[in-house]
Chain A
Amino acid sequence: MENCEACGTPEQAEKLKAVIEESKSTPGCLMHILQEAQGIYGFLPMSVQKTIAEGLGISLSEVYGVVTFYSQFSLKPKGKHRISVCLGTACYVKGSDKILSEIEKELGISCGECTADGLFSIDSCRCVGACGLAPVMMIGEEVYGKLTPESVKGILDKYRKEENV
């Protein structure tokens, strides 16, 4: 995964360039460009941040400061299936921390990391607006509610099966 710096495709580079060109004259466009860039690459490696800094004529330090301020931005690559465990108040009191530990144990990685095969990454979030289903997690755009530690493996297996792992 360390080599992901270099794994950007020419298409991705082209897309990023277009986003920068389109927004660079708008004041305060950095946030928007970073969001788009993360959409294109899945995360924000140094090479991408350098391209953005150069394109906007601002320093890398400024870009990096914004990236590290907002938890929505990631410096590490994300998996194909992005798991997001809610640690908001309602989910937390319903034991979502135990759900998170179970996922970490099952995948052998910590929150904020990505599996070696690039299939899963784990993050935590604060409330997805489905408190009635607490504890909740999202995988991609899919919401899973009323979770128990025991139910975790079955859900992950569904994705593994799709990928024939």
Chain B
Amino acid sequence: MQAKMVNLKINNISVSVPEGTTILEAARKAHIEIPTLCYLKDVSCVGSCRMCLVEATGARGLVAACVYPVSEGMEVRTNTEKCRQSRKMTLELILSKHKKKCLSCERNHNCELQKLSLGYSVDEDRFKGEDFVLPIDTSTPYVVRDNDKCINCMRCVAACRKQNVNAIGPIGRGFHVHIGSAFDMPLSESVCVGCGQCIVACPVGALSENSTIENVWKALSDPTKQVVFFTAPSVRATLGEAFDMPVGTNVEGKMVAAIRRLGPEHVFNMDVTADLTIMEEASELINRIKTGKPMPMFTSCCPAWIKFVEQRHPEMIPHLSSCKSPQQMFGALLKSYWCEKNGIDPKNLYVVSVIPCTAKKYECTREEMKDDVDAAITTRELARMIKTAGIKFAELPDEDFDNPFATATGGGTIFGATGGVMEAALRTAAHMLDGSFEVLDFFAVRGTSPIKEATYLVAGNTIRVAVASGLANAETIIEQIESGEKKYDFVEIMACPGGCVNGGGQPTLSDSVRNNVELKESRAKALYTSDTKNDLRRSSDSPVMDVIYNDYFGFPNSHKAHEILHTSYHADKRI
């Protein structure tokens, strides 16, 4: 049934929108942006910050455009003196207790509060709020929380709730309200899984990753260290955003060129170990199918998902693939195979992984594999390093990754989007089971739907698969499996909605961009386009895999592969 249309005027421009549309959404149709702070598309809509106040006929006083529905004949004014004065006062009140340490703030020049403060000519010292200093939480390797910069917009809380993790919430009341974990415990002791969705939701600098840039700079200038970088599949699809390029621009060539100019010995392609993960994971899946080990098997590339299972569903640990993630596999491969082959003492090799993720910062500190990767930096941190080094990103030529870890298949590339690991695994697993199976496109597992399901018949085996992104959807899948409602053989889970392209380490885009583009879809498209253009699409067809297995591991899931490329998990039940 078609929704009833409502006609209204916004700043004298006529628009027609479906009934139930908010003023904010309707204004977009009239090409008018209404300022927001607490609103974030798909994440938070509570009408609490009062930035989006507008004049609307039929309403008493100013109304919050983000939650106020349009009505027939309504006339809205978004930029009157009354609106501007109200917004200015709101900003000045917010600033009365904001730590205005803007010069060195990670979000300087990319801060919603700063942008609005300039736009509304505020006096940031007009009101002097009560002075109370809250401790900065640096207890985790993934998120740093500086509550003195927090404006209590609750976007991080909404992001955490959307993930169904609920590690943080508002504490207290009135002027002293602040965001934190229960009992103000350090984040490291909470149920947080490190996905970082709170960071990309934050409009100011209250949340950031626990940066390890300084360690990387030090290693780069240490003559005894051989520094190698590798970049995760999705970084090429987002790094350009930090240099004002349109969302969805694939900057692989410039990214490699920029990192090379930072001065490491080599720049490698993490898609290679995404292929390696598929070789190991597909073999493990086939082995599980044949030996009747716990099914379904869950993917294990996402460290926030692993932490979620360990903390909330330890009973599911036997279902997790034992494969390390591509990041950890690469670190382990470099510190073993690469070092042995080139006569390098692993102590002198400094491995830097560039990832779209904050949980990967935690992953590389896990006791089981803490020697694999020395520093994991986010897309944001890489962008900052490039800018600091004075590298003119947009003007760089396109360059290629270094051999022998340059060539990867399209299967490795699509790891960065939800459904990508599943599709890559199916391409290889199906071929391993039936050499004549040539299907390469598994459309049913693509796209950003929260949960995707499909069934495939390969060499007499029925393989039932499911793909979920966003931990709330992962929770649904676990419930359905545990209740017996659903039966699957293989399940891919990515903690972040949409997968790594929407990871917690990706560039933080301003509200005016984020509220107006399909972020997940546009970024994922860059990866799938690259996959289609690649002559190699099935991980098992990669010539690099031939070399690695012939030279070193023998065959997938061999004893040596198990020693170096696989890991274990442990229960850590938390409430």
Q: A53 CB to closest chain B CB, in angstroms?
A: 6
A59 near B191 with CB under 8 A, answer yes
From A49, A50, A58, A71, give the contact of B166 (CB < 8 A). A58
* 30 A/B residue pairs, CB under 8 Å, sorted by A: A46-B182, A49-B182, A50-B575, A53-B575, A54-B575, A58-B166, A59-B165, A59-B169, A59-B191, A60-B191, A60-B575, A61-B166, A61-B168, A61-B169, A61-B181, A61-B190, A61-B191, A62-B166, A62-B169, A64-B169, A64-B171, A64-B183, A65-B169, A65-B171, A65-B182, A68-B171, A68-B173, A69-B170, A69-B172, A70-B173
> Hey, which chain B residues are within 8 Å of A68, CB to CB?
171-173
Q: How many angstroms between the C-alpha atoms of A122 and B278 in the bound complex?
A: 64
Q: A75 CB to closest chain B CB, in angstroms?
A: 8
- Let me know if A128 is at the binding interface, CB within 8 A: no
Q: Which of A32-65 contact B (CB under 8 A)?
A: 46, 49-50, 53-54, 58-65
- Let me know if B167 is at the binding interface, CB within 8 A: yes
> Hey, which chain A residues are within 8 Å of B191, CB to CB?
59-61
A61 near B167 with CB under 8 A, answer yes
Q: A69 CB to closest chain B CB, in angstroms?
A: 5
Q: Which of B160-194 contact A (CB under 8 A)?
A: 165-173, 181-183, 190-191
Q: A18 CB to closest chain B CB, in angstroms?
A: 20
Q: A43 CB to closest chain B CB, in angstroms?
A: 13
Q: B555 CB to closest chain A CB, in angstroms?
A: 45
Chain A interface (Cβ < 8 Å from any Cβ of B):
46, 49-50, 53-54, 58-65, 68-71
Q: How many angstroms between the C-alpha atoms of A46 and B171 in the bound complex?
A: 15
A59 near B166 with CB under 8 A, answer yes
Q: How many angstroms between the C-alpha atoms of A71 and B182 in the bound complex?
A: 17
A59 near B167 with CB under 8 A, answer yes
> Hey, which chain A residues are within 8 Å of B183, CB to CB?
46, 60, 64
Chain B minimum-CB-distance residue to A45: B183
A69 near B167 with CB under 8 A, answer no
Q: How many angstroms between the C-alpha atoms of A65 and B575 in the bound complex?
A: 15
Q: How many angstroms between the C-alpha atoms of A68 and B183 in the bound complex?
A: 9
> Hey, which chain A residues are within 8 Å of B168, CB to CB?
61
A64 near B166 with CB under 8 A, answer no
B167 near A65 with CB under 8 A, answer no
Chain A minimum-CB-distance residue to B174: A69
Chain A minimum-CB-distance residue to B192: A61
> Hey, which chain A residues are within 8 Å of B190, CB to CB?
61
From A54, A64, A69, give the contact of B182 (CB < 8 A). A64
Chain A minimum-CB-distance residue to B164: A59
| Additional A-B contacts beyond A59-B191, A62-B169, A63-B182 (17; CB < 8 A) | A49-B182, A50-B575, A54-B575, A59-B169, A59-B182, A60-B182, A60-B575, A61-B167, A61-B169, A61-B182, A64-B169, A64-B183, A65-B171, A68-B172, A69-B170, A69-B173, A71-B173
Q: How many angstroms between the C-alpha atoms of A46 and B185 in the bound complex?
A: 11
Q: How many angstroms between the C-alpha atoms of A46 and B190 in the bound complex?
A: 13
> Hey, which chain A residues are within 8 Å of B169, CB to CB?
59, 61-62, 64-65
Chain A minimum-CB-distance residue to B191: A59
Interface centre among A50, A62, A63 (most CB of B within 10 A): A62
> Hey, which chain B residues are within 8 Å of A69, CB to CB?
170, 172-173
Interface centre among B166, B169, B171, B191 (most CB of A within 10 A): B169
> Hey, which chain A residues are within 8 Å of B182, CB to CB?
46, 49, 59-61, 63-65
Q: Which of B140-174 contact A (CB under 8 A)?
A: 165-173
> Hey, which chain A residues are within 8 Å of B167, CB to CB?
59, 61
Q: How many angstroms between the C-alpha atoms of A18 and B311 in the bound complex?
A: 27
Q: A106 CB to closest chain B CB, in angstroms?
A: 28
Q: B483 CB to closest chain A CB, in angstroms?
A: 14
Chain B minimum-CB-distance residue to A58: B166
> Hey, which chain B residues are within 8 Å of A61, CB to CB?
166-169, 181-182, 190-191
Q: How many angstroms between the C-alpha atoms of A146 and B83 in the bound complex?
A: 50
Interface centre among A53, A64, A70 (most CB of B within 10 A): A64
Chain A minimum-CB-distance residue to B165: A59
Q: How many angstroms between the C-alpha atoms of A46 and B130 in the bound complex?
A: 29
Q: How many angstroms between the C-alpha atoms of A63 and B170 in the bound complex?
A: 10
Chain A minimum-CB-distance residue to B574: A60
Chain B minimum-CB-distance residue to A60: B182
| Leading 5 A-B pairs by shortest Cβ distance | A59-B166, A64-B182, A60-B182, A65-B169, A61-B169
> Hey, which chain A residues are within 8 Å of B165, CB to CB?
59
Q: How many angstroms between the C-alpha atoms of A54 and B181 in the bound complex?
A: 16
Q: How many angstroms between the C-alpha atoms of A46 and B166 in the bound complex?
A: 17
> Hey, which chain B residues are within 8 Å of A65, CB to CB?
169-171, 182
Q: How many angstroms between the C-alpha atoms of A109 and B191 in the bound complex?
A: 35
Q: A126 CB to closest chain B CB, in angstroms?
A: 14
Q: A41 CB to closest chain B CB, in angstroms?
A: 16
Chain B minimum-CB-distance residue to A51: B575
Chain B minimum-CB-distance residue to A65: B169
Chain B minimum-CB-distance residue to A49: B182
Q: How many angstroms between the C-alpha atoms of A58 and B169 in the bound complex?
A: 12
A-contact bits for B183-214, CB 8 A (1 contact / 0 none): 10000001100000000000000000000000
Q: B571 CB to closest chain A CB, in angstroms?
A: 16
Q: Which of B222-244 contact A (CB under 8 A)?
A: none
Q: A52 CB to closest chain B CB, in angstroms?
A: 10
Q: How many angstroms between the C-alpha atoms of A28 and B173 in the bound complex?
A: 20
Q: A147 CB to closest chain B CB, in angstroms?
A: 28
Q: B549 CB to closest chain A CB, in angstroms?
A: 45
> Hey, which chain A residues are within 8 Å of B181, CB to CB?
61
Q: B575 CB to closest chain A CB, in angstroms?
A: 5
Interface centre among A49, A63, A68, A70 (most CB of B within 10 A): A68
Chain B minimum-CB-distance residue to A53: B575
Q: B468 CB to closest chain A CB, in angstroms?
A: 20
Q: A123 CB to closest chain B CB, in angstroms?
A: 16
Interface centre among B165, B171, B575 (most CB of A within 10 A): B575
Q: A48 CB to closest chain B CB, in angstroms?
A: 12
Interface centre among A49, A50, A54, A61 (most CB of B within 10 A): A61
> Hey, which chain B residues are within 8 Å of A50, CB to CB?
575
Q: How many angstroms between the C-alpha atoms of A46 and B182 in the bound complex?
A: 9
Q: How many angstroms between the C-alpha atoms of A71 and B183 in the bound complex?
A: 16
Q: How many angstroms between the C-alpha atoms of A63 and B575 in the bound complex?
A: 11
> Hey, which chain B residues are within 8 Å of A49, CB to CB?
182
Chain A minimum-CB-distance residue to B190: A61
Chain B minimum-CB-distance residue to A66: B169
> Hey, which chain A residues are within 8 Å of B173, CB to CB?
68-71
Q: How many angstroms between the C-alpha atoms of A61 and B180 in the bound complex?
A: 8
Q: B219 CB to closest chain A CB, in angstroms?
A: 37
Chain B minimum-CB-distance residue to A46: B183
